[in-house]
Structure 1
């Protein structure tokens, strides 16, 4: 049985941990409000741009050679961009995405594709290096819980365009945690290249017909790289909001568990102390009777 000194030390240690987890919860909550607002504000723009590009791509289908960002490359090399956090203590935020990522890689390889992985964030880089070391082309740092600048998405988008232009990859998918609420983040796969185009876009006789100025090919050349950056930026914002939500929930649970542990240790401390006092009284009474 632990001594009173050991129990006091454990209670003091758990109280210190509770202070830390409570502070981390408050910090994550303050960050979550900002990141959630930005993630939700980015969704309408990203969805509208993706829908507009899909309609524009459908209008140009069958009109000659299409840009690589629209049709992809001729080969079977698939680049998967994985967005995770640099920091831990976020519950299952990174583990759930890593599990989803493993399933995606195994499925793509089963379909005969060569998978290349570009993890953004230290936790994702660690997981993919353990599971698919040959597929990781480079490990990029995340935002470490700080603000997400659009320049980060633009830089990542330019790198992807360069890899497509050089023929290093043929298809691109980004995998990230989509923010639902503070307790729920959904692993999501978003195809970026080739650009998803609904098959029935040109078959609806009642669909609106548009005239483009400048022409469709020039618009695609200008807008496709921008759309890639916008989709990556929206995914980065979703991942950042999800990270803070997961961390706030994890730290709240840790704080509650610390409180329960303190209560349990305090009960053990009081019982042990009472037992020691009772034993001392019995010894004193026994000694007095012996005299």
Structure 2
């Protein structure tokens, strides 16, 4: 009977765990809806601003340098890692750490060996993983992803732009999870600085339809900081939505696995109970026969 008690205890424990994972799934689903709304609002904004800048750049007679577009020599390469402060979200954090490892042991191997790589992290879980892999972390800014307000992210972007202008960093690469859908997140390694304007082939004809006041280069100079603010804010929002989607999917799988395990344990419990009852009947019958024969 001790075995039956152990099975009952385990079933009760797993049911409690299932309640927790189910509740976490519902919370993540609610947060994911809000995060998706935020992404749906900012993506058109950054996309339209990028289009305006592309047409402005295409209207210029020749490529010209603008603020934050000229890489500085002898500076550090900053890898800005955006992850999460909490776990239980599947491979969300591990995938970002693997992408950083592929950078520092691949394309940036020489810079990493010579000490020209700095790593800044937004997310406590990623920091723990880097420390367990003996990868040094230079800066942490975990509070920025706690609320992810535009003003705080913009101030942080201003700091990065200033350090880039002063030559502290020659390049800034952001590694994060891009939100595809609730079940799919794509790890991206994006060059944040120096800033580049992608000019599509069709931008040149359309640019002739506009009259610019002041000149296009002046407008580009004024738009670039705003674009960098919006881009970093979008990246943080993308990462947050990916985190909620990954956690919702992970908790959904955990809830299903708990349900399957409970069914298996319940079946084992019923079999063990039947075996115990059968053994008791055999003992009673054997005892009765022994009394009759005695």
Q: 1:17 aligns to what SS in structure 2? A: helix
Q: Is the 8 A contact 1:77 1:168 kept in 2?
A: yes
CA distance in 2, matches of 1:195, 1:139: 23
Please tell me whether the aligned partners of residues 176 and 188 of structure 2 are also in contact (alpha carbons under 8 angstroms): yes
1:115 corresponds to 2:117: yes
**TM score, norm. by length of structure 1:** 0.88
1:76 to 1:107, Cα distance in 2 relative to 1, 3 A:
farther
Q: Which is worse superposed, 77-86 or 112-121?
A: 112-121
- Please say if residues 55 and 206 of structure 2, whose CA atoms lie closer than 8 Å, have aligned partners that are also in contact: no
Which ranges in structure 2 are unaligned for 5 or more consecutive residues? none
2:191 aligns to what SS in structure 1? strand
Q: Structure 1 171/55 Cα, relative in aligned 2: closer, same or farther at 3 Å?
A: farther
**What are the Cα deviations for residues 14-48 of structure 1, in whole angstroms up to 9, with x where unaligned?**
00000000101111111111101111221121122
Q: How does 1:212-291 map to 2 (within 5 A)?
A: 212-291=212-291
Superimposed CA distance per residue, residues 72-97 of structure 1 (whole angstroms, 9 cap, x where no aligned partner): 21235221211111000111111112
Indicate how the Cα distance of structure 1 residues 105 and 242 shifts in structure 2: closer, same or farther if over 3 A, else same: same
Deviation at 1:235, TM superposition (A): 0.5
Partner SS for 1:244: helix
- Equivalent in the alignment of 2:139: 138
Structure 2 partner of 1:127: 129
- Match in the other structure for 1:88: 87
Q: CA deviation at 1:190?
A: 1.9
Deviation at 1:226, TM superposition (A): 1.5
The Cα of 1:207 is off from its aligned counterpart by 5.6
How far the C-alpha of 1:128 sits from its partner, in A, is 2.8
Offset at residue 170 of structure 1 (A):
0.8
CA contact 1:76–1:112 (8 Å) conserved in 2: no
Instruction: Report the 3-state secondary structure (helix = DSSP H, G, I; strand = E; otherwise coil) of the residue aligned with 1:170.
Output: strand
Residue 103 of structure 1 pairs with residue 90 of structure 2:
no
Q: Tell me how far apart the structure 1 counterparts of residues 37 and 200 of structure 2 sit (CA, whole Å).
A: 35
1:153 aligns with 2:153: yes
Which SS does the other structure have where 2:283 is aligned? helix
Which residue pairs with 1:162 in the alignment? 162
Deviation at residue 215 of structure 1 after TM alignment: 3.4
For residues 144-200 of structure 1, give each alpha carbon's deviation from its aligned partner in whole angstroms, at most 9, with x where no partner exists. Answer: 6x6531123112202201211331101112111111111000001222212224478
CA distance in 1, matches of 2:191, 2:86: 26
- Tell me how far apart the structure 2 counterparts of residues 45 and 125 of structure 1 sit (CA, whole Å): 32
Cα-to-partner distance string for 1:106-158 (whole Å, 9 max, x where unaligned): 23323647321111111122223344633x221111566x6531123112202
8 Å Cα contact 1:79/1:171 also seen in 2: yes
